[in-house]
Amino acid sequence: MLHDVFALPSGKTLDICLSIQTAILEHKLAPGLKLSEDEVGEIYGVSRTVVRAALQALAHSSLVTIRKNRGAFVAKPTMREAHEVFQARALIEPAVARLAADAITPADLDLLKAHLAAEHAALDSGDMSKALVLSGGFHTAIADIADHRVFTGMVRSLISRSSLIIALYSKRSDTACESHSHGALMDAFADNDAVAAEEIQKSHIIDLHSGLDLREKESDPKSLSQALGLAV
């Protein structure tokens, strides 16, 4: 179910991506921390090539920032960026939900149901970072169904930036999307009710935005090996 986030990596690269992703989304790696290629390679016992591919994939999902000649760092979304990402989502995603409600097929509905079931399973097992990624995947799946060449790409980019924002700034202990909103969206899609889908998605995004605590807070930095040692 993680294909939305990691389209390319496989094998060892994917394992490292998932391990670092979990460590970032569970706040074990502080925003701004340098991810030295040598150190990451040593921790996982892999070559620089594998490490580089993993860091590139993480940069693609906005969890890591790669700076020219300086290397890779855990991404550090600012509060302004957090606001702006959610403002953009509140404008675009309701329109995308409307398109999806008109375009949805029975096969698409089954796919969304599978997403929702995986999200619930992750929440039930207490795997919050996985639940967070899966709930983002639910939103990108809706954008895929809408199949709009401009909006779909925009939603993908906004969702990948949202995971870390929610992980860092959510006031709620359970950081994934509230599943009842996703359930209500499913009902609207099953009825091809475009107006309801648009309204539910709009209030869902506004709710997510208002659930963020966008104030500066102290972090509890750990070293790279400490953090990744815990995550492996």
For the purposes of burial, counting CB atoms within 10 Å of the CB of 150, is it exposed (0-12), middle (13-18) or buried (19 or more)? exposed
d(CA 56, CA 75): 12
- 85 makes contact with Zn ion (CB under 5 A): no
Give the binding-site size for Zn ion (rule: CB under 5 A).
1
Nearest residue to Zn ion by CB is: 177
CB of 179 to Zn ion, least distance (A): 8
- Our CB check for Zn ion shows the closer of 141 and 177 to be 177
- 131 makes contact with Zn ion (CB under 5 A): no
Candidate segments 67-75, 158-166, 176-184, 211-219, binder of Zn ion by CB under 5 A: 176-184
Residue with tokens 């815990």: 230
CB of 204 to Zn ion, least distance (A): 6
- Our CB check for Zn ion shows the closer of 28 and 209 to be 209
- Our CB check for Zn ion shows the closer of 39 and 127 to be 127
Residue with tokens 């909006």: 151
Candidate segments 6-14, 19-27, 106-114, 172-180, binder of Zn ion by CB under 5 A: 172-180
HSE-CB for 57 with a 13 A CA cutoff: 25
Structure tokens at 50: 């594998």
Residues forming a β-bridge with 73: 34, 65
Q: Quote the crossing angle between the two packed helices 79-103 and 179-190, to the nearest 10°.
A: 30
- 177 makes contact with Zn ion (CB under 5 A): yes
Is there a contact between 70 and 33 (Cβ–Cβ < 8 Å)? no
Question: Which parts of this chain interact with Zn ion (CB under 5 A)?
Answer: 177
